[in-house]
Amino acid sequence: MNEPTLIYEKSSPGVIGCPLPDTATPEDKLLELIPEKHRRSDDTALPEITEGELMRHYIGLSVKNHHIDKGFYPLGSCTMKYNPKLNEKAAALPGFTGQHPLAPLRTMTGSLELMYELGEYFKEISGLDRISLQPVAGAQGELTGLLITRAYHRDRGNVRKYILTPDSAHGTNPASARLAGYETVQIKSNEDGIISPETIEAAIDEDTAALMLTNPNTLGLFESNIEKIAEIVHGAGALVYMDGANLNAQMGIIQPGKIGFDILHFNLHKTLSTPHGGGGPGAGAVGVVKKLEQYLPVPVVSRVPGDGNGCFLDYDRPKSIGRMHSFYGNFANMVRAYAYIRTLGGVGLREVSENAIINANYLQALLHDEFDMPYKQICQHEFVLSCNRQKKKGAKALDIAKRLLDFGFHAPTVYFPLIVPEAFMIEPTETESRRTLEKFAETLIDISKEADTDPEKLQQAPYNTPVRRLDEVKAAREQDICFTG
C-alpha cells in the first residue's frame, strides 16, 4: 500500500494534534466582534492529524528536496554552495533583525559602520575606488553599472548606442543592456574560448558605450588578454564592465580594478555566504573607478569628515542615477558577507579562490578521458565539458543530468554556454572534499558507460526521485498551471 502524499490524505476525523488554549472570553462573545457577513458558515477544512504525524510529514517533504546539507551541488556558487551557519547566526542577531529601516540614524550607528566597512573590504578585493551596496541582485547590479555608464557618457555629450558582449556571456548581460537603453553587439570567442583584442578592435567604434565581460568567463577561463582589451576600449572612450558572477576565482589573486575594469558588480549571494537556491535572496553591490563614483545610487554610506567612527547616508549627489532599491539594499546579506570576510581575512579569501580552482581542475582531470573537453587548458573555478560523444550513442546531456539524480547528486547546468554543444557546466566550489569529487566523477563515468550499453535507460531517468521526468516543454509553455497539495 502506498503511503499517502498529501497531508489531507493523512487526515482522520476527530484527531487532535495541538489543542488551542481556552480563552478568557467565550467564543460567542468573540464572534460578536466579527460582522456576520464575514463569519464562516462551516468549520475550516483543516487536516486533522497528530503532532508527531505532522512533524514527520514535513520532515518527509524536506528530505525529498535536494539541498547542500544533503548532497553535492555541482552548480556551485551559481545556485548553492556550503556557507557556514555562523554567518546566518550573525545576520539573525536581534540588533539587526529588530532594527527598522526608518529608524533615526543615531540609533543605527553600528549598522552604518558595518556597511561602510564592508564597502572598504570590497574596495580592497576589487581594486576599485567606491562602492554602492544598494542593488539586490546580480542582474540589478548589471543594470546599475549600465545606468552609470549611460550617465557618464551623457555628461560627455553622447550616451552612445552599443554594448559589446561575448558569445559566452550570461543572458542577463544583453537583457540589462537593453533595459538601460542600449543595443548589444555579440563578440565571438576565439579557439581558446576567450576574447581576442583583434576582435574587439574590429567591433568597437565611437558609438560603443562599454564592453561587458565576465572574468573568468562562463567557460571557466581567465580572459588573459584583458589588459590589452581594456586599452583598446578605453582608447575609444568606452568603459569596461566586469560581470562579477565568477569573482570567487579571483579574490586575493587579481584586483579587477588594477587590470582595466571600470565597473564591477559583486554577487554577495554567490561569492560571500548567502545561500540563494530557489532564486533569492540576492545582493549585487557595485564598485566603480573614481571618475564614475559621482553617478552611484543614492544614498552612499560615507564617513563623517574628521570623525574616525561616525558614518552617515550621503544624499548630496546631484549626478547620481537615483535609487535602485528601497532603503539600503538587502541588509541581512551584507551582514552575512561581512561575517564571512571577517572570519576568513585576506589570506582566507585567497584560499577560497585557490581551493575553488584546484577542485575544478582536479575534477576536470578525472573526467578528461570519458568526455569531450572543448577547451583543454587549465580552468579557473569551473569548467565545461561536452556530452557530444554520449549523444552519438543515444544519451543527451539532459539524459545524463537526469540520471545523476538517481545517485544523490544534483545535476550541473546543462546546455550553457550555448557555444558548447551538449554542454555540462560543472562548478564544484571550494569546500567539497577530494572524496566527494572522486565519487561524483566515478558516477558520471559509470553513467557514460550506461550510454554504451543501454542508452534507453538514461532516456527515461530519473527512477529514484519523488517524481519521474517532467514535461519541461509543457511547463515552459503553460505556466498558468497550478499545482496543489
What is the full DSSP assignment across 180-214? TT-EEEEE---TTSS--HHHHHHH--TTEEEEEEE
According to CATH, where is 3.40.640.10 located in the chain?
86-342
Nearest alpha carbon to residue 259 among 213, 302, 204, 293:
213
Nearest alpha carbon to residue 400 among 450, 439, 358:
450
Per-residue pLDDT for the chain (485 aa), expressed as one digit of tens each?
466 778 999 999 999 888 788 888 988 888 889 998 998 888 888 899 999 999 999 998 888 888 888 889 898 777 678 888 899 999 999 999 999 888 898 899 999 999 999 999 999 999 999 999 999 999 999 999 999 999 999 999 999 999 999 999 999 999 999 999 999 999 999 999 999 999 999 999 999 999 999 999 999 999 999 999 999 999 999 999 999 999 999 999 999 999 999 999 999 888 998 766 555 678 999 999 999 999 999 999 999 887 566 899 999 999 999 999 988 889 999 999 999 999 999 999 999 999 999 999 999 999 999 999 999 899 999 999 999 999 999 999 999 999 999 999 999 999 999 999 999 999 999 999 999 999 999 999 999 999 999 999 999 999 998 888 988 888 888 877 554 43
Q: What is the CATH number of domain 353-477?
A: 3.90.1150.10
Is-above-0.85 flag for pTM?
yes
Q: Can you name the residues that pair with 187 across neighbouring β-strands?
A: 166
Grid cell locating 78: 551559481
Q: Can you name the residues that pair with 162 across neighbouring β-strands?
A: 183, 208
Under DSSP, is residue 482 helix (H, G, I), strand (E, B) or coil? coil
According to CATH, where is 3.90.1150.10 located in the chain?
353-477
CATH T-level fold of 86-342:
Aspartate Aminotransferase; domain 2 (3.40.640)
Nearest alpha carbon to residue 321 among 151, 74, 114:
151
Tell me if 410 sits within 8 A of 75, measured CB to CB: yes
Nearest alpha carbon to residue 352 among 270, 264, 278, 440:
270
From the CB of residue 475, how many other CB atoms can be counted at a distance below 10 Å? 10
Beta strands in 399-453 (DSSP E): 413-414, 423-426
Tell me if 417 sits within 8 A of 448, measured CB to CB: no
